[in-house]
Amino acid sequence: MRIITGIARGRIIKAPDGLNTRPTSDRVKESMFNILDYHYSYENVLDLFAGSGNLGLEAISRGAKKCIFIEQNKEAYNYLVDNIKNLKFEDYCQHYRQDAFAAVEILAKRGEKFDLIFLDPPYSKGLVEKSIKSIYEKGLLDDNGVIVSEQDVNDVLPDIIGNIKKVRVEKYGRTAIAFWSKEE
């Protein structure tokens, strides 16, 4: 994996071997960010289920001012911390080794709002829907913000969760990327 563009263009992002993490491929990431950069602006990013930080680090490289990374798995979290250091992004990043839903509670209590939230949980466990519901209930998504979820192409998601509506879905092999924003 690598950073595709921005201030860290071409730099390598390391991830643990094995099936515990499933990093977003460069091809899927590039397509995702092409859509994001054309339709949305983002400065304050949350990378929930961050893994090695692939998505949030790309957002920082492209100009985001801040990214909060949440990852529970110890090995993936250690890679995340190393990637932040290797890219010299410490001034832009906060990272926590914690359960995603506990983190949502804490971030809400701190009054955090995000204009871009990445959700890339383990596939086929209902975690995308549960995460969006929690984000909606805790008010973490800025009014003009977007959630980008990655899931298996066969996972069935509702079109709307609370006031957060699925506005676009792109499919890449077995991976689907959905874009969600608040209903107007």
**76: its two tokens:** 């993936």
Predicted pLDDT of residue 77: 96
Cα(179)–Cα(12) distance, integer angstroms: 26
The 3-state secondary structure of 91-148, one letter per residue: HHEEEECCCHHHHHHHHHHCCCCEEEEEECCCCCCCHHHHHHHHHHHHCCEEEEEEEE
- Tell me the per-residue pLDDT of 97-133, one tens digit each, with 9 for 90 and over: 999 999 999 999 999 999 999 999 988 899 999 999 9
Cα(132)–Cα(121) distance, integer angstroms: 12
- Tell me the per-residue pLDDT of 24-80, one tens digit each, with 9 for 90 and over: 777 888 999 999 998 899 999 999 999 999 999 999 999 999 999 999 999 999 999
Predicted pLDDT of residue 105: 97
Taking 3-state DSSP, the helix, strand and coil percentages for the chain, each rounded to the nearest 5, stand at 35, 30, 40
Amino acid at 29: K
Q: How many Cβ atoms are within 10 Å of 171's Cβ, its own excluded?
A: 11
pLDDT band at 22 (very low <50, low <70, confident <90, very high): low
Predicted pLDDT of residue 18: 59
Predicted pLDDT of residue 19: 46
Q: How far is CA 96 from the centre of its chain?
A: 14
* Lowest-confidence segment of 21-25, 37-41, 179-183 by average pLDDT: 21-25
Domain annotation for the chain: domains and CATH numbers: 26-182 (3.40.50.150)
pLDDT band at 86 (very low <50, low <70, confident <90, very high): very high
pLDDT band at 21 (very low <50, low <70, confident <90, very high): low
